[in-house]
Amino acid sequence: METVLYFSFIILASISSGMIGWVAARAFRKFWNEYQSTFSESATNNLGDMFMFVDPQKLFMFNIIGVVVIPIFVWLVSHNLIATVAAMAGMIALPWWIYKTIKKNRFKRFEQQLPEALMAISSNLQAGASLQMAFEGLINEQPKPLNQEFELLIRQTRIGVDMETGLSNMEKRLPIPDFIVVVSAIKIAREVGGNLIEVMEKLANTLRRKASMEGKIDSLTSQGRLQGKVMTGLPILLGVVLMQIEPKAMSMLFTTPMGWATLAVIIVMEILGYLTILKITSIDV
């Protein structure tokens, strides 16, 4: 009787384990497909807005390699749970950080090219060209990314999109305050009339003076930003030095609950201190 009950228990346990494994496999497969679809769609849309056309499947595989392989490698090398979790968090945040950096640099280049583009538009309008012809002239005269955005605008107008809607779409892709002012000035001039040539010239001169002022402010606050980076990196450097001098004492930071709590406080204070310094040295013009 006991043998029958034992084998019955084994069979029931095997069936239960198989059902749990089957449910877990289906849930993982569903999660995998949804994550892949979301990642690919997000990557395609975000990179497409910056005229960067990359195979989303390759980006997804690189993302999986980074999220899975790098933490495993860190664990095999260090056998440190905190370092492994930090590596995984870093790999998860890396695509977002790369995208934000590329987007920020693109916006900055567009903003730098804008005053010269406005002067070119003003010159073309003075020569008797229409606004659309003036925009078309920017495609060959200006470098990337400005010529890419205006080329897309011209393509939209050629397939039936009116100029105001095209400018509004362009404004959504480029939420830069200077460009928003330019788009608003163009729309107002087209709706109520006005000397668009003079408006473009005044905007170009204003943006140039603004860029000059921002350059001076960046120069004056560069020392403060450098001090913030040095003060943020100093505790990390000191920790590395102490790890070499007193490895046994410092190992308690990574192997005990009190050490983990101390590390958490240190990380939070480091981040808050660096963000505070950035806030102090960031001056809006």
Q: Does 230 map to a domain?
A: yes
* 101 class by beta-carbon count within 10 Å (0-12 exposed, 13-18 middle, 19+ buried): exposed
Question: Is residue 177 located within the same domain as residue 250?
Answer: no
CA separation, residue 166 to residues 110, 121, 135, 180 (Å): 17, 17, 12, 13
Rounded Cα–Cα distance for residues 249 and 246 (Å): 6
Q: Is the pLDDT of residue 97 over 80?
A: yes
How many domains, in total, are found in the chain? 3
Question: Is residue 119 located within the same domain as residue 207?
Answer: yes
Q: Does 194 map to a domain?
A: yes
Q: Does 66 map to a domain?
A: yes
Identify which of 36-50, 172-186, 208-222, 248-262 has the greatest average pLDDT: 172-186
Q: Is the separation of the CB atoms in 161 and 179 below 8 Å?
A: no
pLDDT in tens, 106-148: 898 999 899 999 999 888 888 888 888 888 888 888 888 888 8
Here the tokens at position 67 are 């999220």
pLDDT category of residue 260 using cuts at 50, 70 and 90: confident
The separation between CA 67 and the C-alpha centre of its own chain, rounded to angstroms, equals 18
Give the mean model confidence (pLDDT) for residues 178-201. 85
Per DSSP, 71 falls in state: H
What pLDDT is recorded for position 49?
66
pLDDT in tens, 17-73: 667 767 777 776 776 677 677 767 776 666 666 666 667 677 778 777 777 888 888
pLDDT category of residue 2 using cuts at 50, 70 and 90: low
Bigger pLDDT: 285 vs 269: 269
CA separation, residue 184 to residues 128, 133, 137, 148 (Å): 22, 19, 21, 21
Question: Is residue 137 located within the same domain as residue 194?
Answer: yes
Q: Is the pLDDT of residue 237 over 80?
A: yes
Query: What's the domain range around 250?
Result: 214-281
What percent of the chain shows pLDDT beyond 70?
A: 85
Question: Is residue 170 located within the same domain as residue 86?
Answer: no
SS3 115: helix
Helix H or strand E encompassing 17: helix 2-49
pTM: 0.71
Here the tokens at position 81 are 């749970």
Domain C-terminal end among 156, 180, 213:
213
Summary mean pLDDT of the chain: 81
Domain C-terminal end among 50, 67, 101:
101
Bigger pLDDT: 88 vs 193: 88
Q: Does 8 map to a domain?
A: no
Q: CATH number for the domain including 155?
A: 1.20.81
Residue where the block lists tokens 């205006």: 150
pLDDT category of residue 1 using cuts at 50, 70 and 90: low
Amino acid in position 231: M
Domain C-terminal end among 79, 101, 123:
101
